[in-house]
Amino acid sequence: MNYVINPVLMGGIISKITGDTVKINLRGRLGVIETPKFLISSPSPKIGDSISFYFSYIEVVKNTCDYDFDEIVREHNIIPCLLGGKITEFNDTAIEVSVKELSIVVRVPRRWVFTEISLSNDLDVEFYLSRMQILQTAKIS
């Protein structure tokens, strides 16, 4: 396959916080990411906060890498990290991918997936994701 899954700077809004999990709606109705709180570079994220982070298309891979999950955990800057996961659900319009080692769930339109084979559950995938930072809002006096 001749695709390159380059990470791009994305934006989103925190829509729900449950325990240690934060749900983020991607801008432009491009999907939803559920991530552990520790991947957000703020000690106290709140519902409605705008965030930015790096994210890429998802590629189905036949041969997985030895993914370094520690990099995204220990790095405090928003630097893209290549993650590996599995397809947990898909249909004609959307796909769900899980990175069990980090409790990350990604739900995006199916057009975000590059593959040479028919989709099925438990296929290996990889994509870039970074830690997330809360954007400061301008205060008008």
pLDDT score recorded for residue 64: 86
Q: Give the three-class secondary structure for 73.
A: helix
| CA-closest candidate to residue 67, choices 5, 117, 124, 3 | 124
- Whether this prediction's pTM lies above 0.85 is answered by yes
Amino acid letter, residue 99: V
Are 49 and 13 in contact by the 8 Å Cβ rule? The answer is yes
Are 96 and 40 in contact by the 8 Å Cβ rule? The answer is no
| CA-closest candidate to residue 129, choices 97, 86, 81, 70 | 81
For domain 8-134, give the CATH superfamily. Nucleic acid-binding proteins (2.40.50.140)
How does pLDDT run across 28-69, given as a tens digit for each residue? Answer: 888 999 999 999 988 789 999 999 999 999 999 998 888 888
| CA-closest candidate to residue 129, choices 2, 1, 8 | 8
